[in-house]
């Protein structure tokens, strides 16, 4: 944003696995939101990062919080249906008004992502310790800067095609898995005045959000999604002839 | 569809203006749906075309009707909010499963179109007898075949940018208006297994659906949107390693 | 083409490996052009298919031949630089005028493909009997109809990213290789009035052009690339005001 | 560029009209290159801007100059064919290696632009003092920031569709003309590692490069095209199995 020194990021996490499964809690002692937040602050020390979770009132995503957020990141898995529809509509409205959105991994089935894309966002999956390789297919894209080609993730859940999304505006990364599957793992979408980045690596069952390259991509994606203009929702205008003269 | 001789088209119309405004009823004595249906049968005599309207039970869009429809066309304006959400979800599901959809003019604000695109679909407008010129920017596209460059529509409602849609997969037509505005008037979108064509010319206040070139474009759009495969909704699959061997 | 019963296809092949290497000659006794031609006629018995090779006068691609060709397929590898620049310009002109073009495998470095795309078309490669899996990422695309998901090719040359092409207009297939690499293996591009399909599976060192699914994709690609309109090169027009009235 | 304080811009101009036609010389006393250069420095005082013209040795575009250029802007009209092919190849190589390129107005027919896009780049035109309106269709794009909607240019050459370019990666602006034509007037293309912005407003016959909004767009376009990574040409790599481990 013009003249703003630091970006304001809200890291949203369902936070159900961490609070109900010991293994996940040990893997992510600060929650997945804590790991994601630290990825952002490690790369953007000037960023103002807050976190919010499902259990918070209004899931921590009040009008005030969203109005004060340049980029929202989203992680959910088990409890997509527990997210209140009013909050989903609010997030969608803020994205269309210009707020950036970074959707992570199983967030592909979140209400927010599906409402913004309009498709089922279904895919193939397998949770069996595949190795994932993340290849850059748009090497000059800002989100790919400083990222190895390929990123090697030793153990990961497999996400495979067909991934039912609209053709992305930009395809940045394609992953392969040791089982042979491929996945469009880094995709951008412009919706309304907002920018959306979907990035699939990351799972509660593996320490992917501690992986240096994954953290770099998330930090790049957040920076890329920062709004370029004042927030406003595209509106219906009745224009008299010659209105622009 | 493989081996099918004739395409099955359902022409949906809100049918409110025609039943409440004398002028519109005189302009479209068979309803806008009648005019659209005849555009299709004039160019595709083999097509099986039925019509359905808001007042019909389930708006005429039962599961049986949609399952028997290759391409659905949609016209609505005054009564978008009266369309039942269950029907909207049903139509969306059929489009994502492969049914073609042609959205006409003020259908840009229909629940169906907005659910599939995820944006506000807002735009600028003016109803003052502008001349519209429809220019082809993708001359080899099937939808543009047999269509003059430009199409001249003597009197039309103005639809102007910014039109809040995702960047279309293909931009086929751009219109200008005598007031100076421009509009992305012919756009395609692939969503799930379905093809969507949006075409803006056409209004209850002008005899645009009697215009030969507009009728040709609609007929082309319907043909282009015919499914290429058996209908099925993209699904979530848990795939064991080596499942494809 | 309107009213034309059968598509006319010219299959071009460098035909150098087959005439200088016993192994390749045994693998492709009718040449790679023979194998490609039979893939097309197997699926489109009505097609009029001819072949042409580097050694023919003007490489078999005279003005007359191209004017009589709906879709040209291209295979080259060792002798890209021996293709005459005048022939390259002629092919490019015909594609921009509407002729379809299907570029196969190592044709990515042909003068014709590079002239039409404007980039280096470089990539990563390895010739070590990788298994290639070809995944469909646009399941409703005409080129993907009747094609398994994935296509399994037991032995293949690896082609990997980064593949230096413009972002394709449509991405139809993505391949993975047993070595872990990925590749955008099925891509479409519209250029001028012409349609271009690039499909990477296929090599002189492996019997890939005898693979049933690869043959199906080639046949689909040829059909998809058939022109929709009379051939003409986009021209510069000085238009007086009101020329269209 | 990482760690670089100021962008380095080279403004190229044919400089033939200005040196042979009194009217043009009076309109652009510092040449069109002077006007374009000042648009950039007005908005980016820190930029290091140099100019180069056709008459310079190697047209002022030596290997050294290009290696020291982040973004090149290009204006040409009468003398496209006088540009040396070796210089064209050098510019193309630098763009594919990452140098930004901003092509202005009649530069659509330059050898450089046509080589990078692969199409004829032909269009319709008329030089009769049309009013041009430049409408933003991607309001969140960096190039559209601070630009009115629409930009009003009182007198301009008309450029109309069909414009024979590949579908742009991003369509930022669409223009209308008082004669009724439309034109995709602001388009981006990624080629290799480089970013290309084409912007059509501007002509030797009108003082368009003194128009505040046009100057803002050019300055925005230059900034947008600045490379994101060290310059290198995408290469062909023979990769042994496991090379990335």
3-state class of B75 per DSSP?
strand
Q: Is the pLDDT of residue A2 over 70?
A: no
Distance CA B33, CA B53 (A): 8
Find the CB nearest C242 among D179, D233, D234: D179
Find the CB nearest B171 among D171, D178, D180: D171
Distance CA D41, CA D219 (A): 8
Give residue D46's Cα distance to chain centre. Answer: 20
Q: Is the pLDDT of residue C223 over 50?
A: yes
Distance CA D200, CA B117 (A): 30
Best probe of the D interface among C111, C119, C196, C238, by most D CBs < 10 A, is C119
Distance CA B133, CA D181 (A): 8
Q: What single DSSP character describes residue D84?
A: -
Indicate whether D21 belongs to any domain.
yes
Best probe of the C interface among B132, B134, B138, B139, by most C CBs < 10 A, is B139
Residue C245 pLDDT: 87
The residue of chain D with its CA nearest to that of C177 is D241
Q: How far is CA A113 from CA A75, A88, A109, D234, in A?
A: 11, 9, 7, 34
Calculate what percentage of chain A has a pLDDT beyond 90.
Answer: 97
Distance CA C238, CA B233 (A): 50
For chain A, what is the domain count?
Answer: 1
Indicate whether D168 belongs to any domain.
no
- Model-wide pTM > 0.90: yes
CATH of the domain at C62: 3.40.50.880
Average pLDDT over every residue of D106-134:
98
B194 with B112: CB under 8 angstroms? no
β-pairing, D8-13 with D48-53? parallel
Distance from CA of B140 to the nearest CA of C (A): 5
Indicate whether C80 belongs to any domain.
yes
Supply D115's token pair. 């080589």
Which chain D positions have a beta carbon within 8 Å of C130's beta carbon?
241
Find the CB nearest C162 among A137, A161, A178: A137
Residue at token pair 């959809």: B101
Going residue by residue through chain B, which has 245 residues, state the pLDDT in tens, using 9 for 90 and above. 444 568 999 999 999 999 999 999 999 999 999 999 999 999 999 999 999 999 999 999 999 999 999 999 999 999 999 999 999 999 999 999 999 999 999 999 999 999 999 999 999 999 999 999 999 999 999 999 999 999 999 999 999 999 999 999 999 999 999 999 999 999 999 999 999 999 999 999 999 999 999 999 999 999 999 999 999 999 999 999 999 98
- For chain B, the residues whose C-beta falls within 8 A of a C-beta of chain A are 92, 96, 109, 115-120, 122-126, 128, 130, 158, 160, 162, 164, 166-167, 169, 179-181, 189-192, 233-242, 244
3-state class of B17 per DSSP?
helix
Per the CB < 8 Å rule, is C135 touching A163?
no
Cα atoms in the 13 Å half-sphere on the side-chain side of A237 = 16
Distance from CA of D53 to the nearest CA of B (A): 34
pLDDT, tens digit, for every residue of C197-219? Answer: 999 999 999 999 999 999 999 99
Find the CB nearest A176 among C163, C170, C182: C182
Give the phi and the psi of residue B214 in degrees, each rounded to 5.
Answer: -65, -40
Indicate whether A52 belongs to any domain.
yes
Strands (E) in chain B, as ranges, are 8-13, 48-53, 71-75, 100-104, 124-136, 151-160, 170-177, 182-191, 194-199, 237-238
Instruction: Label residue D3 by pLDDT band (50, 70, 90).
Output: very low
Kindly tell me the sign of the dihedral angle through the C-alpha atoms of B29, B32, B36, B39. Answer: positive
Which chain C positions have a beta carbon within 8 Å of A184's beta carbon?
137, 174
Find the CB nearest C116 among D118, D130, D241: D118
How many beta-carbon contacts under 8 Å exist across B and D?
Answer: 66
| C98 CB-contact burial (10 Å; exposed 0-12 / middle 13-18 / buried 19+) | buried
Q: What single DSSP character describes residue D52?
A: E
Q: How far is CA B176 from CA B131, B132, D177, in A?
A: 8, 6, 9
Q: Is the pLDDT of residue D5 over 70?
A: no
Give the phi and the psi of residue C61 in degrees, each rounded to 5.
Answer: -115, 60
Residue B117 pLDDT: 98
Per the CB < 8 Å rule, is B120 touching A96?
yes
pLDDT, tens digit, for every residue of A184-222? Answer: 999 999 999 999 999 999 999 999 999 999 999 999 999
Give the phi and the psi of residue C43 in degrees, each rounded to 5.
Answer: -90, -25
Give the phi and the psi of residue B23 in degrees, each rounded to 5.
Answer: -55, -45
Q: Is the pLDDT of residue A5 over 70?
A: no
3-state class of D71 per DSSP?
strand
Provide the residue range defining the domain that includes A77: 8-121+184-225
Residue B3 pLDDT: 45
Which chain C positions have a beta carbon within 8 Å of D191's beta carbon?
118-119, 166
Residue B2 pLDDT: 42
- How many C-beta neighbours within 10 Å does residue C62 have? 15
Q: Is the pLDDT of residue A4 over 80?
A: no
Find the CB nearest B137 among D138, D149, D161: D161
pLDDT, tens digit, for every residue of D37-57? Answer: 999 999 999 999 999 999 999
Q: What single DSSP character describes residue A166?
A: P
Find the CB nearest C176 among A139, A149, A182: A182
Distance CA A107, CA A13 (A): 10
Show Cβ contacts of residue C57 under 8 Å, excluding neighbours closer than 6 positions: none
Residue D1 pLDDT: 40
Per the CB < 8 Å rule, is B122 touching A179?
no
Residue C1 pLDDT: 40
Residue A6 pLDDT: 87
Q: Is the pLDDT of residue A1 over 50?
A: no
Q: Is the pLDDT of residue D4 over 80?
A: no
Q: Is the pLDDT of residue C2 over 50?
A: no
B149 with B136: CB under 8 angstroms? yes
Q: How far is CA D151 from CA A88, B183, D73, D202, D212, in A?
A: 36, 16, 21, 13, 10
Q: Is the pLDDT of residue C3 over 50?
A: no
Average pLDDT over every residue of C119-127:
98
Instruction: Look up the ipTM and state it.
Output: 0.96
- 3-state SS track over chain C: CCCCCCCEEEEEECCCHHHHCHHHHHHCCCHHHHHHHHHHHHHCCCCEEEEEECCCHHHHCCHHHHHCCCEEEEECCCCHHHCCHHHHHHHHHHHHHCCEEEEEHHHHHCHHHHHHHCCCCCCEEEEEEEEEEEEECCCCCHHHCCCCCCEEEEEEEEEECCCCCCCCCEEEEEEEECCCCEEEEEEEEEECCEEEEEECCCCCCCCHHHCHHHHHHHHHHHHHCCCCCCCCCCCCEECCCCCCC
Indicate whether D3 belongs to any domain.
no
Distance CA A182, CA A46 (A): 36
- For chain C, the residues whose C-beta falls within 8 A of a C-beta of chain A are 131, 133, 135-139, 149-150, 160-163, 167, 170-171, 174-178, 180-182, 184
pLDDT, tens digit, for every residue of D170-216? Answer: 999 999 999 999 999 999 999 999 999 999 999 999 999 999 999 99
3-state class of A103 per DSSP?
strand
CA angle D183/B139/D117 to nearest 5° reads 65
Q: Is the pLDDT of residue D6 over 80?
A: yes
Kindly give the residue spans of alpha helices, DSSP state H, lying in chain A.
Answer: 17-20, 22-27, 31-43, 63-67, 85-97, 111-117, 212-224
Indicate whether D25 belongs to any domain.
yes
A69 with A9: CB under 8 angstroms? yes
Average pLDDT over every residue of A85-98:
98
Higher-confidence residue: D6 or D164? Answer: D164
Indicate whether A239 belongs to any domain.
no
Per the CB < 8 Å rule, is B139 touching D150?
no
Which chain C positions have a beta carbon within 8 Å of A182's beta carbon?
133, 135, 174-176, 182
Indicate whether D41 belongs to any domain.
yes
Distance CA D221, CA D198 (A): 9
Helix (H) or strand (E) holding A71: strand A71-75
Kindly give the residue spans of alpha helices, DSSP state H, lying in B31-147.
Answer: 31-43, 63-67, 85-97, 111-117
pLDDT, tens digit, for every residue of C128-140? Answer: 999 999 999 999 9
């Amino acid at each position: 944003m013009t003249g703003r020194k630091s970006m304001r990021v809200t890291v949203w996490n369902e936070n159900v696995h961490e609070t109900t499964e010991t293994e996940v809690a040990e893997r992510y002692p600060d929650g997945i939101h804590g790991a994601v937040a630290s990825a952002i602050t490690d790369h953007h020390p000037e960023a103002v990062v807050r976190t919010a979770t499902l259990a918070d009132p209004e899931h921590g995503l009040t009008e005030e919080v969203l109005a004060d957020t340049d980029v929202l990141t989203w992680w959910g898995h088990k409890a997509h249906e527990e997210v209140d529809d009013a909050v989903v509509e609010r997030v969608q409205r803020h994205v269309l008004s210009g707020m950036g959105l970074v959707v992570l991994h199983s967030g592909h089935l979140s209400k927010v992502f599906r409402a913004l894309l309009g498709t089922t966002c279904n895919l193939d999956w397998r949770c069996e310790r595949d190795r994932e390789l993340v290849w850059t297919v748009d090497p000059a894209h800002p989100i790919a800067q400083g990222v190895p080609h390929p990123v090697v993730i030793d153990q990961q859940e497999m996400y495979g095609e067909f991934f039912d999304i609209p053709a992305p505006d930009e395809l940045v990364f394609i992953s392969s898995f040791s089982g042979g599957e491929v996945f469009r793992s880094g995709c951008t979408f412009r919706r309304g005045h907002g920018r959306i980045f979907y990035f699939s690596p990351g799972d509660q069952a593996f320490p992917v959000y501690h992986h240096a390259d994954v953290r770099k991509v998330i930090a790049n994606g957040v920076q890329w999604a920062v709004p370029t203009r004042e927030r406003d929702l595209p509106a219906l205008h009745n224009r008299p002839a010659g209105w622009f003269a």
